[in-house]
């Protein structure tokens, strides 16, 4: 067909096979320098599948044989893709600009871009938009979307054949070479992924470049001009292969093989000018493969979490909610100010950068067969008070979390302790000086694990939990909804652990660590402190307080034992001697103790008719704290509020040690020691 433009009358059918097309029944079609424009479809490639099918459905047994080993549903123009969500116009502009900048940045260094990001961050939507933009610019060579939700798309078995099929359509002159490779080795479809990739893709591409070089002579150019054979591809033309969801490939070893094939085999032939854009969650096997020096040198990485998307999520929610208001059958009952600005802001905060949260919320409430206001209220409050018997607005999100947690091959009880411990450790501490954040080493120390154990247990959960690799930087959940999921037994099932159990475990460990220091080496000052004891000194009251609130009778049996009676003195002494906490910090600490003592006294002491040892010791520590406060203001008003500015005449170390002795002294001896200062 000569150069020109074709306009399809039946473009409204998109890439569906259920309606007639402009080329129905045609066979052996070859288009040269022809632009195909359809009207009424979403993308310009709607006819592309039909053109490809026309070629494959022809009397070409070799290509039909290739097609039988492909996964068409994994491509960007499949029936599955037709129903897949897309980026709303005007969103994700920053990250899309970075990706397209990579595509047209030349080939001086990186030829592969790795888009990594937490689960539910919208990577697939971004990749589908990248495909569209590459198609619009005429540089898309092939795509492959792994998925666990479509049968057969979680395996690498059809990967090489599906990529080869697409390349045969997008790169002129390649189909004949692929046919020759199949004809010369019909059994290659039963061979390894590497063998298929080499025979169907790498070697035919090299042959194509050789043909182009041979065709550069005047005689060759005259021969091509007089034939119907497509002109071989120009070596300088950019070709983009887009791969999405590599983490959804079920075999981790196959994930590694895919990365190595794309990053090492294609870039070896620089004249082919391929760019690879690969998206996945930052799972361990994928991360470690990209750290390989041979791969790292040709790869650039974009971290989705580095691109704040709250504004995009807010725009998406506003647009979607107003669309629902305009179309829902029960919209007439909505208040005039629905949705409110505060509600949208709360949804954005709940999403915490997670597009899947926002889209799941919208999908749930737009159900036309449910009262809109009722489903909206249910979805808004579900994270606070989920209904065991009612519908779950976030079923899809919960399934994602469960699938990721199931992928870990670790002891479940310890994994639960670590995850729920992180939730508690993120809480506000009554003494900030004692806690510098939740690090992997801190978890190891607190849970009495060998160094590196926490990082090993969390290595497959980087798509849910941010685990920094430098120093003592804080571990954090990527999404607030993960915490809601873990704290709900109906949603998380075996991954749930009750708050009482978590605080009970942690209180026992607090007692163990603080007693170890108090009874053992408390005369030795360590200005940096021990991470586990830091937490124990700061948080033991929080754990005990939560246990009393949750299950007072059970908690009373634990915290009123002799092992816990020493905790008030031990924590105050540690704060003074080890961490040199400022005066205001100590005052805050003893005030927190007194609040806990009041709760304990009202709950247990009054009922038993006597003050428990723990209650008595807290009262004593509170009295000593008040005396320290009074003494500073009476004797050293200029220095009150600071433990480290007493002037050269007073040695801080001596003061810290005397404070430790004061915790054992009767009230009558207090003035003696005060006058000694």
Q: Domain limits at 538?
A: 500-676
Scan for tokens 């306009």, then name that residue.
7
Same-domain pairing of 515 and 545: yes
CATH code, 299: 3.40.50.300
Same-domain pairing of 286 and 325: no
Across 49-67, b (16+ Cβ under 10 Å) vs e yields bbbbbbbbeeebebbeebb
Q: pLDDT value at position 288?
A: 93
DSSP string, 412-439: HHHHHHHHHHHHHHTSPPS-GGG-----
Q: How far apart are CA 476 and CA 74, in angstroms?
A: 34
Same-domain pairing of 290 and 362: no
Q: How far apart are CA 57 and CA 24, in angstroms?
A: 11
Q: How far apart are CA 210 and CA 232, in angstroms?
A: 10
- Per the domain annotation, does 403 fall within a domain? no
Same-domain pairing of 382 and 416: no
Same-domain pairing of 105 and 232: yes
The domain boundary residue, chosen from 476, 497, 518: 497
- Per the domain annotation, does 321 fall within a domain? yes
- DSSP run (H or E) holding 476: strand 476-477
Q: Are 87 and 128 in contact (CB under 8 A)?
A: yes
Asked whether the whole model's pTM tops 0.85, one would answer no
- Per the domain annotation, does 148 fall within a domain? yes
Q: How far apart are CA 352 and CA 649, in angstroms?
A: 53
Same-domain pairing of 515 and 658: yes
3-state DSSP assignment of residue 303? strand
Same-domain pairing of 76 and 154: yes
- Per the domain annotation, does 64 fall within a domain? no
- Per the domain annotation, does 653 fall within a domain? yes
CA atoms within 13 A on the CB side of 266: 30
Same-domain pairing of 619 and 576: yes
Scan for tokens 């209220």, then name that residue.
377
Q: For residue 648, count other CB atoms closer than 10 A to its CB.
A: 5
DSSP 493: G
Residues of the chain with pLDDT under 50: 1-58, 224, 229-236, 429-435, 471-472, 523-529, 638-657, 660-661, 663-677
Q: Are 147 and 122 in contact (CB under 8 A)?
A: no
The dihedral of CA 576, 579, 585, 588: what is its sign?
negative
Scan for tokens 């007692």, then name that residue.
511
Q: pLDDT value at position 268?
A: 55
Looking at the structure of the chain, the number of domains it has is 5
- Per the domain annotation, does 401 fall within a domain? no
Same-domain pairing of 272 and 332: no
Same-domain pairing of 224 and 299: yes
The domain boundary residue, chosen from 59, 79, 105: 59
Same-domain pairing of 482 and 541: no
The domain boundary residue, chosen from 306, 328, 358: 306
Q: How far apart are CA 142 and CA 166, in angstroms?
A: 5
Q: pLDDT value at position 442?
A: 87
Q: Are 497 and 416 in contact (CB under 8 A)?
A: yes
Q: How far apart are CA 103 and CA 137, in angstroms?
A: 11
Same-domain pairing of 512 and 476: no
């Amino acid at each position: 067909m000569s150069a020109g433009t074709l306009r399809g009358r039946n473009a409204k059918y998109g890439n569906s096979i259920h309606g007639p097309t402009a080329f129905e029944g045609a066979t052996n079609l070859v288009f040269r320098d022809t632009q195909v424009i359809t009207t009424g479809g979403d993308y310009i490639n709607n006819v592309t599948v039909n053109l490809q099918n026309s070629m494959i459905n022809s009397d070409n047994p070799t290509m039909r044989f290739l097609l039988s080993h492909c996964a068409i549903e994994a491509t960007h123009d499949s029936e599955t893709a037709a129903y897949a969500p897309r980026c709303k116009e005007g969103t994700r502009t920053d990250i899309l600009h970075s990706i397209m900048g990579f595509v047209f940045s030349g080939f001086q260094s990186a030829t592969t871009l790795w888009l990594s990001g937490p689960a539910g961050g919208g990577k697939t939507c971004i990749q589908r938009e990248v495909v569209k933009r590459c198609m619009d610019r005429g540089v898309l060579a092939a795509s492959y979307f792994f998925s666990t939700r479509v049968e057969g798309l979680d395996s690498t078995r059809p990967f090489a054949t599906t990529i080869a099929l697409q390349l045969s359509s997008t790169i002129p002159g390649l189909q004949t070479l692929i046919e020759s490779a199949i004809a010369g080795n019909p059994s290659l479809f039963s061979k390894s992924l590497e063998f298929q990739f080499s025979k169907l893709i790498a070697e035919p591409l090299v042959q194509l470049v050789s043909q182009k070089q041979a065709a550069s002579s005047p005689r060759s150019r005259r021969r091509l001009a007089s034939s119907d054979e497509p002109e071989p591809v120009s070596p300088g033309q950019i070709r983009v292969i887009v791969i999405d969801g590599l983490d959804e490939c079920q075999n981790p070893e196959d994930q590694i093989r895919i990365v190595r094939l794309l990053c090492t085999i294609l870039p070896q032939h620089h004249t082919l000018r391929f760019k690879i854009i690969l998206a996945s969650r930052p799972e361990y096997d994928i991360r470690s493969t990209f750290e390989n020096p041979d791969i790292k040198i040709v790869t650039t990485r974009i971290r989705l979490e580095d691109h704040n998307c709250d504004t995009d999520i807010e725009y998406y929610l506003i647009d979607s909610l107003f669309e629902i208001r305009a179309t829902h059958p029960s919209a007439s009952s909505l208040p005039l100010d629905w949705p409110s600005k505060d509600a949208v802001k709360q949804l954005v905060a709940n999403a915490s950068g997670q597009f899947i949260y926002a889209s799941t919320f919208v999908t749930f409430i737009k159900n036309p067969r449910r009262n809109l206001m009722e489903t909206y209220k249910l979805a808004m409050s579900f994270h606070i008070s989920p209904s065991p018997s009612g519908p779950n607005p976030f079923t899809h999100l919960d399934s994602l979390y469960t699938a990721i947690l199931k992928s870990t091959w670790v002891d479940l009880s310890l994994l639960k302790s670590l995850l729920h411990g992180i939730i508690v450790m993120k809480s506000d501490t009554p003494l900030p000086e004692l806690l510098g954040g939740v690090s992997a080493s801190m978890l190891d120390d607190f849970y009495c694990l060998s160094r590196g154990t926490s990082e090993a247990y969390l290595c497959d959960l980087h798509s849910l939990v941010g685990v920094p690799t430098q120093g003592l930087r804080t571990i954090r959940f990527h999404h607030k909804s993960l915490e809601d999921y873990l704290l709900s037994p109906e949603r998380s099932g075996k991954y749930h652990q009750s708050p009482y159990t978590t605080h009970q475990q942690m209180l026992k460990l607090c007692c163990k660590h603080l007693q170890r220091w108090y009874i053992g080496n408390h005369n030795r000052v360590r200005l940096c402190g021990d991470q586990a004891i830091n937490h124990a000194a700061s948080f033991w009251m929080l754990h005990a307080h939560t246990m009393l609130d949750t299950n007072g009778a059970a908690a009373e049996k634990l915290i009123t034992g002799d092992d816990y009676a020493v905790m008030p003195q031990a924590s105050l002494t540690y704060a003074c001697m080890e961490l040199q906490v400022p005066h205001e910090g100590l005052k805050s600490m003893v005030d927190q103790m007194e609040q806990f003592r009041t709760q304990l006294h009202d709950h247990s002491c009054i009922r038993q008719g006597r003050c428990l040892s723990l209650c008595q010791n807290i009262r004593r520590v509170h009295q000593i704290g008040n005396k320290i406060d009074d003494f500073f203001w009476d004797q050293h008003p200029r220095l009150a509020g600071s433990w480290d500015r007493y002037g050269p005449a007073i040695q801080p170390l001596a003061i810290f040690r005397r404070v430790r002795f004061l915790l054992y002294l009767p009230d009558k001896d207090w003035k003696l020691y005060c006058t000694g200062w």
